[in-house]
Amino acid sequence: MANTEKVVKLTKKDFYAAIKEFIVMSEETKVGNLDAEEVIAFIDKTVEQIENKAAKAKEKAAEKKNEGDELFNAVVEALTEELQTIDEITEAVVAATGDEEITKSKVTARLTKAVNADMARKEQVKGASGRKVMAYALKGEVVAEEVAE
């Protein structure tokens, strides 16, 4: 029969709490050549730093998620019923947001997300130079047309 015990991953915080508890329970005044109170103060300070770092990371992740959502909304707003190349959509998004740091790859990622969410469609079309390029439009009637590169 298989072992069904769940393995619990211990964190640094868990280890520090266990060490602190051991020191407090042992009622020793020295830990090695250090004062027990100094060790406990160090543990408390380190645990606080770990918690602050985790809180900042969580805050930054939430910020990035919201930033990404704003870009996704801007990309969807730039889409029309007519097919447009990624370059055209990128230009429209940069013009609408005023953010020069928006790259073609960021726009492409949001377009893929929109296609997967069934909000947009993509189609391979011939550009002005005769090269095949991907073009995107809002979900709706399919109108085949030549798109300028």
Do 72 and 105 lie in one domain? The reply is no
pLDDT band for position 48 (cuts 50, 70, 90): very high
Mean pLDDT of 23-46: 90
Q: What is the CATH number of the domain that holds 145?
A: 1.10.10.10
> Looking at residue 136, what is its pLDDT?
92
The answer to the question of residue 121 being in a domain is yes
Per-residue pLDDT tens over the stretch 58-94:
988 887 776 667 888 899 999 999 999 998 999 999 9
Query: Which of 40, 56, 78 is where one domain is finished?
Result: 78
Q: Are 63 and 111 in contact (CB under 8 A)?
A: no
Cα 104 from chain centre? 18
Mean pLDDT of 32-58: 93
Count CA atoms within 13 Å of residue 87 on its CB side: 5
The answer to the question of residue 146 being in a domain is yes
The answer to the question of residue 2 being in a domain is no
Say which range, 12-21, 34-43, 122-131, has the weakest mean pLDDT: 122-131
Do 97 and 73 lie in one domain? The reply is no
Residue 93 CB burial class (10 angstroms; 0-12, 13-18, ≥19): buried
Q: Give percent of the chain above pLDDT 90.
A: 44
The answer to the question of residue 139 being in a domain is yes
Do 135 and 70 lie in one domain? The reply is no
Amino acid at 115: V
> Looking at residue 68, what is its pLDDT?
61
| Residue found under tokens 């015990």 | 5
Nearest alpha-carbon partner for 137 in 73, 59, 82, 58 = 82
Mean pLDDT of 123-138: 86
131 SS3 class: coil
Do 18 and 37 lie in one domain? The reply is yes
Nearest alpha-carbon partner for 104 in 93, 113, 120 = 93
> Looking at residue 7, what is its pLDDT?
79
Query: Which of 78, 102, 137 is where one domain is finished?
Result: 78
Per-residue pLDDT tens over the stretch 96-113:
888 888 899 999 999 998
Number of domains in the chain: 2
The answer to the question of residue 4 being in a domain is no
> Looking at residue 146, what is its pLDDT?
43
Amino acid at 14: D
Structural domain including 120 reads 80-149
Query: Which of 53, 78, 103 is where one domain is finished?
Result: 78
Where are the alpha helices (H) located in 27-135, listed in sequence order?
A: 36-78, 86-97, 104-116
